[in-house]
Amino acid sequence: MNFGGQTPTIVVLKEGTDTSQGRGQIISNINACLAIQDTIRPTLGPLGSDILIVGSNGDTTISNDGATILKLLDVVHPAAKVLVDISRSQDAEVGDGTTSVTILAGELLRESKAFVEEGVSTHIITKGYRKAAQLAVNKIKELAVHIDRSNEIEFRSLLEKCAATAMSSKLIHQNSALFTKMAVDAVLTLDQDDLDESLIGVKKVPGGGLEDSFLVSGVAFKKTFSYAGFEQQPKSFSNPPIVCLNVELELKAEKDNAEVRVEQVSEYQAIVDAEWKIIYDKLEAIYKTGAKIVLSKLPIGDLATQYFADRDIFCAGRVSSDDMERVVQAVGGSIQSTCSDIKPEYLGTCEKFEERQIGGERYNLFTGCPKAKTCTLILRGGAEQFIEEVGRSLHDAIMIVKRSVKNNSIVAGGGALEMDVSKYLRDYSRTIAGKQQLVVAAFAKALEVIPRQLCDNAGFDATDLLNRLRMRHSRGEIWAGVDFDSEDISNNMEKFVWEPALVKINAIQSAAEAACLILSVDETVKNEESSQPVAPPRGRGRGLPRR
């Protein structure tokens, strides 16, 4: 077919599709990530500020946790979402350093922006960044200090110092002595083989002060919905047998989804009697087990509640699955789905059970559990948003302690490690030739954003402190970092500003990966819904129904 020497226009993508590509697209993506970085920059460090976020439904959140802020920000830019993802992965993997990883990724992109504008291929930049990240990780492993686990006192001291460093930038840093002990006790309560943090329950009770928070070595949960007869039940036991059920103990449960046909009125009474007999047989079977506490995931009705009250048995229905799972882990036994044939080995026990008033709520507390692989943190505070932030801060500290238990190698915080790795990479860059030298040096400069931002947020002279830090590190003082107490420089290893090496390794790896990923994208294709009306099928009038 002859087109008269002209190339025909071929439409591949449907109308309304937005495409943009080239160097301008890369710079646009970098700028979007820098906007995210600028948002959470002020929250870094012990003297960082908090951000108040108001959701679309009017809920307010006050936090300086990077992952929480980015999760609540409704980020729509596809490239900027990468920073949100690395912050979340840092939170899931390590628990702390969520702000640092985002700021570092943004700074790597800021350094690469000049190269892109000058026409350097992004492949050269990503190759240099990957090489520098690998060198940085190796250097951190080399610098990390290993703590001997055989000395229990020294090891516990390590955990408390790591937790205190994680809390230094949180709202609760004024009460860090109380909460570091709680975080370490909570993690050491768990089974040391798997350290499942989901077995650490957190209950938030408004009212009181922060110092009223405490740790229950066992399980605590809020008093469940109760029927008449509940107040007659005993609320305190010593060494009670405990049975955990997944059974509904209500009369109506026996007549649901059933159809019965009777021919005589006397037969109806026999059916009613049979229903009562079924539930009484269940209750009698539970009573014969000798259990003094009956817990069930499903409702326990007013008939059963009164039955148990008459026999000095405590019961609670509608216990949540999480709480029930932790009760079983703590007291032993197993959850039963039938009331018949409950053997003694299926029952659990604890030294003391009591129902206690905590603030404006009643709580059931199981303490002195023989299989105590679980614990509960009761958090108090004035405002609801404040308690929520306390919970997030404790989660970070608990995750840090958990990682320190598994990987007992530490480094100094306060920008000390970043400055030493930066010096190492800068020295290395001078040994190589070509563009890679500039890229590795740019990576080294990007690492300095952490101590610089720490100084800016604290109101210190960042330029002066950074120059002095470079001088100290060039002399071989590897742990010289920012000292917030004296507004000067100190040996942060001796000042006990400790962090698990895993936090830093994960942050550098994630930040480098995110930067390389964003730099490797030079085209965006955005599919929009076509605004053109769809033409009706041939042979039919517009709007006419099919015959």
Query: Of 61, 65, 102, 374, which is the active-site residue?
Result: 65
Q: What are the CA-CA distances from residue 401 to residues 146, 172, 216, 406, 498 (Å)?
A: 15, 17, 18, 9, 11
Paired with 220 in beta bridges are: 365
Q: What are the CA-CA distances from residue 516 to residues 132, 229, 334 (Å)?
A: 12, 65, 50
Active-site residue 99, yes or no? yes
In this structure, what token pair is assigned to residue 369? 């559990």
Distance CA 145, CA 4 (A): 76
Active-site residue 65, yes or no? yes
Q: How many CA atoms lie within 13 A of 440 on its CB side?
A: 23
Nearest CA among 390, 93, 376, 42 for reference residue 216:
376
Active-site residue 96, yes or no? no
- Interhelix angle 449-458/98-117, nearest 10 degrees: 120
Three-class DSSP category at 65: coil
Query: Of 96, 323, 396, 456, which is the active-site residue?
Result: 396
Query: Of 99, 102, 165, 376, which is the active-site residue?
Result: 99
Quote the DSSP letter at residue 48: P
Sheet holding 375-381, edge to edge: 200-206, 375-381, 214-216
538 φ, ψ (degrees, to nearest 5): -65, 140
- Interhelix angle 435-447/449-458, nearest 10 degrees: 30
Distance CA 106, CA 52 (A): 22
Reduced 3-state DSSP string for 377-435: EEEEECCHHHHHHHHHHHHHHHHHHHHHHHCCEEEECCCHHHHHHHHHHHHHHCCCCCH
Distance CA 374, CA 76 (A): 40
Residue listed under structure tokens 């990468």: 82
390 φ, ψ (degrees, to nearest 5): -60, -45
The DSSP result for 232-253, as a single string, is GS--EEES-EEEEE---B-GGG
Three-class DSSP category at 335: strand
The DSSP result for 251-306, as a single string, is GGGGTTT-----SSHHHHHHHHHHHHHHHHHHHHHHHHTT-SEEEESS-B-HHHHH
Query: Of 39, 43, 98, 367, which is the active-site residue?
Result: 98
Catalytic positions are 65, 98-99, 396
